[in-house]
Amino acid sequence: MPVGWTASARCWPWKARRSEALAQLLPQPRQAQPCAPRAPPPAPFNPLRPLFDYLLLAALWGASFMFMQLAVGDFGPLPTAAVRLGVAALCLLPLAALRGHMGVIRRHAWPLVVVGLLSSGLPAVLYSFAVMHIPTGISAILNATTPMFGALVAWAWVKDRPNASRTLGLLIGFAGVALLAGDRHGGGPAASSDGLIQVAAILACLVACLCYGAAASFTKVYLSEVPPLATAAGSQMGAALVLVLPALTHLPPRMPSASAWGAALAVGVLCTGLAYVLYFRIIQSLGPARALTVPYVIPVFALVYGIVFLGETLTLRMVGCGLVIALGTAMATGLLRLPLGRRG
């Protein structure tokens, strides 16, 4: 073979150099690149989890009336409310800090204090007083009027004028409250000689529901841009700080029992701290409209707890009044609409 001859190209050297130059001008085939690791597939959606959260939240909020009654006998209304809110704040503040909400809480400190008093502080004191004098089941049934009072406050404050169907719902709901207050056998004011104090207890429940309604409108006007977890943590902390001094002036004469401490911690950790976490998760999974229907289910659990653990009685009148209140509340909030006319 002559010198300079290449066996592979079988051409002279100048032809080999030309082939190499052409090869450099032509696009080269891409080399396979190592693939980035794929993210694991998302967990399959479990439709039973939102339902479980919904029922668990209703069960926890229903148990709050029982725990308050077990604690208030040793603590008194003000210390019971202060312990509940303080424990709840200690549960929620670390979660808010992990989400980076502490700066938001500081910037909206005063509105959070106001909404904390309306949504937690005053209602906690009022319900702690109420469960000392009326059955927890009646307190829970009255608590179901919260959405109705929310619609009433929204009408007066933010001018959310109800239509004819919602107005009829308000009337039906208040009629159910009046019928429940006159129950002579289920713990109403006429059930004992001390009727005036029971009237005051029922009024305390209704004022608490009015506070809830005012808190909802206040939040919509002044805290609509604040994340819900920041609102919950900041409001609980603000309400707890406001109640500290009044609670210290009404300390119980002796150390509360271990069972009373357990009930107070349970209502703070389970019925407030954990309940708020579940509430926000329900809003994400089911939406805010369905989350607002939880108060309709709370009386069912509260009545069962009262009968099983507290020896309370359930009458047909209580059941009937509860259904009337639920119907009126559903109509007042627009959840149930009747074709009675157009919005004015």
Helix (H) or strand (E) run with residue 306 in it = helix 298-309
* Backbone CA torsion sign across 249, 252, 257, 260: negative
Inside any domain, residue 139: yes
Asked if residues 310 and 69 have their Cβ atoms less than 8 Å apart, the reply is: yes
Inside any domain, residue 42: no
Length of the chain: 344
Provide the domain count of the chain: 1
Inside any domain, residue 24: no
The strand ranges marked E within the chain are none
Tokens of 62: 């229903």
What is the residue-level pLDDT of the chain in tens, covering all 344 positions? 444 444 444 445 555 555 555 555 555 555 555 555 565 555 565 667 888 999 999 999 999 999 999 999 999 999 999 999 999 999 999 999 999 999 999 999 999 999 999 999 999 999 999 999 999 999 999 998 888 888 888 888 877 777 888 889 889 998 999 888 876 555 555 444 477 898 999 999 999 999 998 988 898 889 988 998 999 999 999 999 999 999 999 999 999 999 999 999 999 999 999 998 888 888 777 776 677 778 888 999 999 999 999 999 888 989 999 999 999 888 888 888 887 655 44
Inside any domain, residue 106: yes
CA dihedral 117, 119, 125, 128 (to 10 degrees): -170
Rounded to whole angstroms, how far apart are CA atoms 321 and 183? Answer: 9
Range of the domain at 75: 49-332
pLDDT of 44 = 61
Rounded to whole angstroms, how far apart are CA atoms 158 and 220? Answer: 9
Instruction: Write a three-state SS string for 263-301.
Output: HHHHHHHHHHHHHHHHHHHHHHHHCHHHHCCHHHCHHHH
Inside any domain, residue 171: yes
Inside any domain, residue 210: yes
Inside any domain, residue 298: yes
